[in-house]
């Protein structure tokens, strides 16, 4: 009996001790989780699909690089080339912003993100541009490609040929949107080259990348790129995501007289991607001796660094810039300012909105790219800008 009583007392003491230690153990695990969380994020950034680069836009000098020439899936960063060829066609007056783009059954059938365009309808070239830079609409991208190339497959060939002319030697395009295709590949270096060209070759049209959103058939379409409202000096370009690619981003930012272009490919999440972009851009500006910090500064009233307010682009049925904001001849204005007080008042709805591309199935493999020449009837290839130096 004494033995049994002794066992009961011991069990009581053990339970009491466990009751005291359990919260301590739980607290220790929570502390370890908080300490190790940043390392988990770094593990994603350091994954086998990660690449990154920062260049000085003026000189092309490389300020940071990680796996810059490794083959990667571009996802919706593909649309930067779709827009480059669209801006080229506008420059050559083969199309105008008011031209109507027909929506085929093929274009309407594209997977999200999309405007949910219906076959047989039309949207203007400018509506399509705004749909690509804000919602990253795949149906609008396919419709633009068919309009400019006759078919999306033909347009993808034009995209690849233009990539070669610009010096993007490791990029192959297979569609206008960036939807998964195992043969559609690029590199961080090639995307930096493309971003540099679109900024320098089409400075007026580049301002489209800055718009926080536009109104399409009564719907407010926000911009997916949250760097525009969270990083000092950011003024474009594009986000992208597929399951195989990871979370991709190309960003350009200006501080003082310095403009940088950053590329991040294969991040594990949108917040990780944006934070990493901010870190490598900060590092780039610091290396150039440019003061400032990329601290988050999103504001409900839509105010950006320097006090500029960016308004929505609105229309009764689609997006067109107000005449007062246009340059003579219908070209986009040098600065996309607030279209009206109403736009400013409601800009908070755009900045508060959160949107991202839907995940897609992982492609099977990569493919090598091949060279080519300019397509028949295309404008003479522009002389490529000096390439960033190859890193060893």
DSSP single-letter state for residue 150? S
Residues facing residue 186 across a β-bridge: 72
Domains in the chain (CATH in brackets) are 48-324+333-352 (3.40.710.10)
**With contact defined as beta carbons under 8 Å apart, do 384 and 162 qualify?**
no
- Is-catalytic flag, 109? no
Tokens at 6, concatenated = 């002794």
Tokens at 383, concatenated = 């002389």
**How do the pLDDT tens digits run along the chain, 392 residues long?**
333 334 444 444 454 444 545 555 445 544 444 344 343 334 356 678 999 999 999 999 999 999 999 999 999 999 999 999 999 999 999 999 999 999 999 999 999 999 999 999 999 999 999 999 999 999 999 999 999 999 999 999 999 999 999 999 999 999 999 999 999 999 999 999 999 999 999 999 999 999 999 999 999 999 999 999 999 999 999 999 999 999 999 999 999 999 999 999 999 999 999 999 999 999 999 999 998 655 544 433 344 443 333 344 433 222 233 332 233 333 333 322 333 332 333 333 333 332 322 223 233 333 323 222 223 233 333 333 333 332 22
The angle formed by the CA atoms of residues 288, 78 and 231, to the nearest 5 degrees, is 35
Spell 173-210 as b/e; 16+ CB within 10 A means b.
Answer: bbbbbbbbbeebbbbbbbbbbbbbbbbebbebbbbbbb
For the residues of 91-123, what is the DSSP string, one character each? HTTSS-TT-EEE--HHHHTPPSS---PPTT-EE
CA 377 to mean position of chain CA atoms: 31
- Is-catalytic flag, 269? no
d(CA 389, CA 56): 12
What separation in angstroms does the CA of 173 have from each of 147, 223, 242, 263?
17, 24, 15, 18
Name the residue with tokens 């502390």. Answer: 31
Helix pair angle (138-149, 152-166), 10° resolution = 80
d(CA 318, CA 122): 11
- Is-catalytic flag, 79? yes
**With contact defined as beta carbons under 8 Å apart, do 193 and 385 qualify?**
yes
For residue 318, give the nearest of 120, 158, 50, 117 by alpha carbon: 117
For residue 87, give the nearest of 213, 237, 206 by alpha carbon: 206
- Tell me which of 51, 76, 177, 210 is the catalytic residue: 76
Spell 28-44 as b/e; 16+ CB within 10 A means b.
Answer: eeeeeeeeeeeeebeeb
* Radius of gyration in angstroms for the set of CA atoms belonging to the chain, rounded to a whole number: 25
- Tell me which of 113, 114, 135, 136 is the catalytic residue: 136
- Tell me which of 51, 79, 135, 369 is the catalytic residue: 79
CA dihedral 347, 351, 353, 354 (to 10 degrees): 160
d(CA 255, CA 244): 34
d(CA 175, CA 103): 16
């Amino acid at each position: 009996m004494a033995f049994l009583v002794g066992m009961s007392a011991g069990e009581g003491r053990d339970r009491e001790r466990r009751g005291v230690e359990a919260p301590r153990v739980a607290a220790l695990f929570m502390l370890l989780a908080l300490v190790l969380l940043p390392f988990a994020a770094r593990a994603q950034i350091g994954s086998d699909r990660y690449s990154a680069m920062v260049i000085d836009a003026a000189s092309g000098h490389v300020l940071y690089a990680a796996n810059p020439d490794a083959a990667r899936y571009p996802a919706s960063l593909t649309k930067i080339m779709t827009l480059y060829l669209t801006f080229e066609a506008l420059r050559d007056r083969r199309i105008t912003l008011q031209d109507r783009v027909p929506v085929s059954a093929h274009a309407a059938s594209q997977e999200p993100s999309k405007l949910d365009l219906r076959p047989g309808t039309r949207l203007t070239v400018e509506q399509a541009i705004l749909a690509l830079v804000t919602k990253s609409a795949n149906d609008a991208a396919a419709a633009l490609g068919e309009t400019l190339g006759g078919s999306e497959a033909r347009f993808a060939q034009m995209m690849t040929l233009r990539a070669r002319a610009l010096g993007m030697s490791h990029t192959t395009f297979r569609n206008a949107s960036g939807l998964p295709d195992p043969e559609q590949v690029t590199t961080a270096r090639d995307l930096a080259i493309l971003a540099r060209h679109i900024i320098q070759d089409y400075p007026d049209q580049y301002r489209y990348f800055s718009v926080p959103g536009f109104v399409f058939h009564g719907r407010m379409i926000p911009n997916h790129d949250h760097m525009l409202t969270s990083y000092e000096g950011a003024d474009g370009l594009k986000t992208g995501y597929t399951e195989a690619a990871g979370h991709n981003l190309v960003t350009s930012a200006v501080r003082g007289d310095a403009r940088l272009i950053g590329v991040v490919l294969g991040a594990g999440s949108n917040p990780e991607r944006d934070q990493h972009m901010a870190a490598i851009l900060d590092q780039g500006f610091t290396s150039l001796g440019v003061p400032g910090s990329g601290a988050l500064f999103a504001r409900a009233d839509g105010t950006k660094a320097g006090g500029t307010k960016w308004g929505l682009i609105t229309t009764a049925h689609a997006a067109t810039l107000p005449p007062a904001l246009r340059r003579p001849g219908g070209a986009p204005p040098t600065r996309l300012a607030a279209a009206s007080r109403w736009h400013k008042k409601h800009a908070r709805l755009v900045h508060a909105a959160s949107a991202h591309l839907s995940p897609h199935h992982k492609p099977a493999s990569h493919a090598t790219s091949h060279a080519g020449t300019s397509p028949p009837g295309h404008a003479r290839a522009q002389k490529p800008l000096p390439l960033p130096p190859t890193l060893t």
